[in-house]
Structure 1
């Protein structure tokens, strides 16, 4: 029975979309699921929220494909840097630690106080895993991961698009100054999605609005000296090592999206940035 009451800010409510996406995916039969996330299933069962508003559209599958790519980047990074530090920016109710932790890395999970309060009903801090209640724009939250030491992988999944561009620039500049050389995974949204969000199958069901319009993520290289865009993918241009392992249903969906060349698909990008 659902029962955990949720009181979240407007932007924070969007965390329910990827949470539900992972739970729905995790319930699929063997061979049809991109990932397994029993923790997401349990949280959806425990939270008093109308998740059914997100049923029926393709965006749940999109959130799973995005998470799967971010997971791949984290696993690759930790394979090369097993004692590294991972920082989840706008962690929501993400469970990347459960899916990708190697038993040695240190994790910091950052989000606004109301989200962390909710998160603490499901997760607890440990010697290698710590929650931080702050905005990415706050000046002091970086002290804890800086004290732990790098190298660093920073993941900002479905977060920065809800900020105005000046705040995104400020955030990325601060991250580059505090964590030089770190990898930053982030998604960017162009006009095809920003301009149509009121009819979007998931975003139209919440009050939050995408604010940062980024048609070309190569602009991120200009925002701080030394920034370098290492990868930028749409759902139709996933790396072969990811695309080839997707279930048949996803392969068919990507083929259909490739044929249709929808602007809201083609200008939504998943990026890996080396901070200067």
Structure 2
């Protein structure tokens, strides 16, 4: 097999962590999810994935992915012909897992990531890759020229790697160009943010988070009045229906972790927010 090294920037390299998590999980008898494509991709990339073997945060990445998948499924149930925009799509396979056969999908990431992604995926009539920084307004115009709303934006393991000014810029852009849309995002708290050097996965790469937010609902509403939190969770307070579907060993693990009330775990939040319906003026 012709294995090639991934030519990725420092932050972009982190996309390999959840990819490996899905590949490893697929081989387990009691798996949180199965992703054969992730296994295929891992086998064709020349990279030292062994550095991530056995890391607890791989499970955290999988639980986050399951929650984001559920939010997409709920959105498409309500809006079968809506548009899902994955910000920082990486080598995600969410389209393959939860597409409903009629929605539009936009997969956005930096040019080096999209170059890598095109080795494994191709555009279709309903699925389009866009090479752009999320802070570049041009991609939003391309999305509106290709698709109709309503929109669900997914920023999974993306915004914490931007500085606060850039995150503010992204929120401004989404609120102005896609009023009333849903945005799913994850945010780190100060306990998580301050211990990155000791984090099991981040300590294996050079990338570091640059933005933390103890209360994303309050922060986004401050930036864009009218923003509402639809739901918010930690990895230890997942929705009951989702938790009930996990294999029993994982249910027990989440329960045990919840009992410990670790600041790093409790400060890491997964939020679904609705942007204001009336587009405000960009500052």
TM-score bracket, normalised by the shorter chain, equals: over 0.9
Please give the TM-score of this superposition, normalised by the length of structure 2: 0.95
Deviation of 1:4 (Å): 2.1
CA distance in 2, matches of 1:99, 1:91: 14
CA distance in 1, matches of 2:50, 2:143: 37
CA distance in 2, matches of 1:44, 1:216: 36
One of 131, 135, 144 as aligned partner of 2:129: 131
> Match of 1:51?
49
> Match of 2:94?
96
CA distance in 2, matches of 1:122, 1:171: 28
Residue segments in structure 1 that go unaligned for 5+ positions in a row: none
Count of residue pairs brought into register by the alignment = 274
- The root-mean-square deviation of aligned C-alpha atoms, in Å, is 0.9
SS in 2 for 1:108: strand
> Match of 2:165?
166
> Match of 2:241?
241
Please give the TM-score of this superposition, normalised by the length of structure 1: 0.97
> Match of 2:271?
271
Work out whether 1:149 is the aligned partner of 2:148.
yes
> Match of 2:216?
217
> Match of 1:27?
27
> Match of 1:175?
174
> Match of 2:3?
3
Deviation of 1:221 (Å): 1.7
CA distance in 1, matches of 2:4, 2:123: 20
> Match of 2:190?
191
> Match of 2:115?
117
In the superposition, relative to structure 1, how do residues 235 and 2 fare at CA in structure 2: closer, same or farther (>3 Å)? farther
SS in 2 for 1:130: strand
Deviation of 1:179 (Å): 0.7
CA distance in 2, matches of 1:22, 1:269: 21
Deviation of 1:44 (Å): 0.7
